[in-house]
């Protein structure tokens, strides 16, 4: 079994991005600038945004954090999105999800200028990705593809089973691995909560991607010998062993499953750090106008 060390690869990619930023600055260009809108005080969102801001500093980007209380109206939030769309000093921005229920997530996503949508959630970016045009690809699937590429994991002709069909992870992942590209050329099965006899499907996977958000859901008897297992899940569970009072659990029961795998990602230190560097990569592309 080989551990896929997302944290190590993410650190390498950060160094690559930092040297590209240095080149831009040496040429007299401005530093890439990522803005994040955070609504409310959800613990998970606070942590994710703090990591993103820190990662910006590490690679030499500028970053702006724009905070709102969770009683902000939909109109006010949409106004801020328009402001960022029109602000030439900002190359890309994200609205950290989830947002409060009284605000339509789709309306907010659709209000973002696709050329600044570095999360890759806008329908224009998703559509362009589906037909193979340059686009910002959603950060988590893009990070997983990069891990597969850097570990030279063969995907062509393999059966990839994905559990979870969210718009930000499962669905785009299924498209990317089914495309006529390398990595890609997989035969893909996309599973969800209505899938019948899920273990019989996951056992057929050469590559199993668990993205459902149920801690330690994937057990040893759900995995084929020699499979590649990518664990996207990050559920915060209470813990007396950490300062914060919680720790992150993946969707895979690591101790049971890992001896059967050819490759497996840990949680934490697997997919999570790659999600952040993919966001940085998209912001760099935005600053260089490489997509639009
Ligand atoms: P989500 O919107 O929470 O949706 C969960 C998906 O899993 C749905 O498609 C659901 O099916 C399916 N599902 C739930 N229970 C299931 C079960 N028992 N059997 C089969 N399918 C089941 O998904 P998400 O936003 O992609 O998040 C999934 C997990 O990934 C969460 O733990 C999240 O925190 C984590 N995540 C991590 C990163 C990272 O950077 N590491 C990034 C994004 C998300 P239905 O569609 O039928 O309801």
* pLDDT per residue as tens digits for the range 46-84: 999 999 999 999 999 999 999 999 999 999 999 999 999
For the stretch 140-173, pLDDT in tens is 999 999 999 999 999 999 999 999 999 999 999 9
Is 60's C-beta closer than 6 angstroms to any atom of ligand 1? no
Nearest to 96 by CA among 251, 268, 245, 275: 275
For the stretch 216-272, pLDDT in tens is 999 999 999 999 999 999 999 999 999 889 999 999 999 999 999 999 999 999 999
Pocket perturbation via mutation, ligand 1, pick of 192, 237, 268 by most ligand atoms within 8 A of CB: 192
- Same structural domain for residues 158 and 245? yes
54 inside domain: yes
- Same structural domain for residues 164 and 260? yes
- Same structural domain for residues 165 and 73? no
Burial class (CB in 10 A: 0-12, 13-18, 19+), 58: middle
- Same structural domain for residues 107 and 227? no
The ligand 1 atom nearest the CA atom of 251: 32
Nearest to 95 by CA among 149, 131, 45, 55: 45
CATH number at residue 263: 3.40.50.720
Beta-sheet pairing, 62-68 with 159-163:
unpaired
Domain count, the chain: 2
Is 194's C-beta closer than 6 angstroms to any atom of ligand 1? yes
- Same structural domain for residues 91 and 155? no
- What is the whole-number distance in angstroms between the Cα of residue 213 and the centre of ligand 1? 4
**Contact 148/178 with Cβ under 8 angstroms?**
no
16 inside domain: no
67 inside domain: yes
Burial class (CB in 10 A: 0-12, 13-18, 19+), 51: middle
Annotated catalytic residue: which of 14, 91, 117, 119?
A: 119
User: Model pTM?
Assistant: 0.97
186 inside domain: yes
- Same structural domain for residues 89 and 156? no
181 inside domain: yes
Domain that includes residue 73, residue range: 30-114
The ligand 1 atom nearest the CA atom of 235: 32
- Same structural domain for residues 148 and 268? yes
Nearest to 119 by CA among 3, 197, 176, 37: 37
Q: How many CB atoms lie within 10 A of CB 76?
A: 12
- Same structural domain for residues 152 and 205? yes
278 inside domain: no
- Same structural domain for residues 75 and 157? no
56 inside domain: yes
CA gyration radius, the chain: 19
- Same structural domain for residues 106 and 154? no
- Same structural domain for residues 222 and 165? yes
70 inside domain: yes
Q: Give the C-alpha separation, 153 to 149, whole Å.
A: 6
- Identify the three-state secondary structure at position 2: strand
Is 163's C-beta closer than 6 angstroms to any atom of ligand 1? yes
Annotated catalytic residue: which of 5, 14, 52, 117?
A: 52
Is 207's C-beta closer than 6 angstroms to any atom of ligand 1? no
96 among known catalytic residues: yes
The ligand 1 atom nearest the CA atom of 271: 41
- What is the whole-number distance in angstroms between the Cα of residue 177 and the centre of ligand 1? 18
Q: Give the C-alpha separation, 27 to 30, whole Å.
A: 9
% of the chain surpassing 70 pLDDT: 100
Pocket perturbation via mutation, ligand 1, pick of 10, 47, 211 by most ligand atoms within 8 A of CB: 211
Is 272's C-beta closer than 6 angstroms to any atom of ligand 1? yes
Residue that the structure tokens 């997919």 belong to: 271
Q: Name which residue sits closest to atom 41 of ligand 1, judged by CA.
A: 272
Pocket perturbation via mutation, ligand 1, pick of 141, 212, 273 by most ligand atoms within 8 A of CB: 212
Nearest to 193 by CA among 209, 216, 220, 211: 211
Is 252's C-beta closer than 6 angstroms to any atom of ligand 1? no
CATH number at residue 97: 3.40.50.10860
Residue 43: pLDDT over 90: no
CA max distance for the chain: 58
pLDDT recorded at residue 181? 96
- Same structural domain for residues 213 and 104? no
Residue 92 pairs in a beta bridge with: 34
């Amino acid at each position: 079994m080989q551990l896929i060390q997302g944290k190590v690869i993410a650190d390498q990619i950060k160094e690559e991005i930092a040297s590209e930023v240095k080149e831009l600055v040496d040429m007299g260009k401005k530093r890439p600038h990522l803005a994040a809108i955070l609504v409310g005080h959800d613990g998970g969102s606070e942590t994710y945004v703090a990591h993103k801001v820190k990662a910006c500093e590490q690679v030499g980007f500028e970053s702006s954090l724009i905070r709102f209380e969770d009683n902000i109206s939909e109109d006010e939030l949409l106004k801020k999105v328009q402001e960022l769309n029109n602000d030439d000093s900002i190359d890309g921005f994200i609205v950290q999800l989830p947002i409060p229920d009284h605000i339509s997530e789709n309306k907010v996503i659709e209000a973002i200028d696709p050329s600044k949508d570095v999360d890759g959630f806008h329908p224009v970016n998703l559509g362009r990705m589906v037909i193979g045009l340059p686009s910002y690809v959603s950060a988590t699937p893009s990070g997983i593809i990069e891990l597969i590429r850097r570990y030279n994991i063969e995907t062509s002709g393999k059966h990839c089973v994905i559990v979870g069909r969210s718009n930000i992870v499962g669905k785009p992942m299924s498209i990317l691995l089914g495309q006529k590209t390398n990595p890609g050329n997989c035969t893909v099965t996309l599973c969800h909560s209505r899938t019948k006899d899920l273990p019989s499907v996951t056992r057929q996977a050469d590559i199993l991607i668990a993205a459902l958000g149920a801690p330690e859901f994937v057990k040893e008897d759900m995995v084929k010998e020699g499979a590649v297992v990518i664990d996207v899940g990050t559920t915060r569970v209470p813990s007396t062993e950490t300062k914060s009072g919680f720790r992150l659990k993946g969707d895979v029961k690591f101790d049971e499953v890992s001896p059967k795998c050819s490759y497996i990602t840990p949680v934490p230190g697997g997919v999570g750090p790659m999600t952040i560097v993919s966001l940085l990569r998209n912001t760099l592309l935005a600053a260089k106008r490489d997509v639009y």
